[in-house]
């Protein structure tokens, strides 16, 4: 079952051994705290450095957790899902639907990546700087002419 692929796209089973800091990831979502619009699924919001999930390497931020130890997580409140994780035991089997690598993760995942500056913003700043420099040079060159 460890790493087996299934018929659904991007679904795999991951077996983790609970470490000193738990399973090494945080979750968001649930029927009472929807993380994605019109979707009450449970998602991985953060992978903790050097935790069980990080050491395994397959679980990623933004992945949807479908099952834990055979218990489906659909239609559960956030606190119910947390309780399933808390009481799952030392060896935990997860069924996960991984997000496609090209898809951006949900906003506010708390990942360590910095947001990129849109290219259009760089262009606007460059045009503004050039315009300012042109006006500044033209004004100063005219003010220095003394006849």
- Domains of the chain, by residue range, sit at 11-97, 116-147
Give the C-alpha separation, 43 to 29, whole Å: 6
Helices (H), 1-69: 52-56
Is 135 in a helix, a strand, or coil? helix
pLDDT of residue 37: 82
pLDDT reported for residue 75: 92
Alpha helices in 37-115 (DSSP H): 52-56, 78-86
Alpha helices, H only, the chain: 52-56, 78-86, 119-143
pLDDT for residue 58: 95
CB-CB contact of 18 with 51 (8 Å): no
CATH class of this structure's domain 11-97: mainly beta
Residue that has been written with the tokens 């990623």 in this structure: 60
- At residue 96, the pLDDT reads 96
State the pLDDT at residue 23.
94
Q: What is the pTM (predicted TM-score) of this model?
A: 0.63
3 state DSSP class of 42: strand
Residue 6: its pLDDT value, please? 46
The tens place of each residue's pLDDT in the chain, 147 residues long, gives 444 444 567 899 999 999 888 999 999 999 998 888 888 999 999 999 989 999 999 999 999 999 999 999 999 999 999 999 999 999 999 999 998 765 455 544 443 444 455 677 787 888 888 888 888 787 766 655 554
């Amino acid at each position: 079952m460890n790493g087996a692929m299934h018929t659904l796209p991007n679904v795999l089973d991951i077996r983790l051994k609970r470490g000193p800091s738990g399973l090494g990831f945080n979750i968001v979502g649930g029927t009472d705290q929807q993380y994605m619009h019109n979707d009450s699924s449970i998602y991985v919001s953060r992978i903790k450095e050097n935790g069980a999930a990080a050491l395994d390497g397959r679980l990623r931020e933004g992945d949807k957790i479908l099952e834990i130890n055979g218990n489906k997580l659909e239609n559960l409140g956030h606190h119910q899902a947390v309780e399933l994780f808390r009481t799952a035991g030392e060896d935990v089997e997860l069924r996960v639907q991984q997000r496609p690598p090209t898809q951006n993760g949900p906003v506010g995942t708390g990942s360590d990546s910095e947001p990129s500056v849109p290219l259009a913003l760089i262009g606007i700043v460059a045009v503004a700087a050039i315009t300012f420099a042109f006006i500044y040079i033209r004004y100063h060159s005219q003010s220095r002419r003394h006849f």
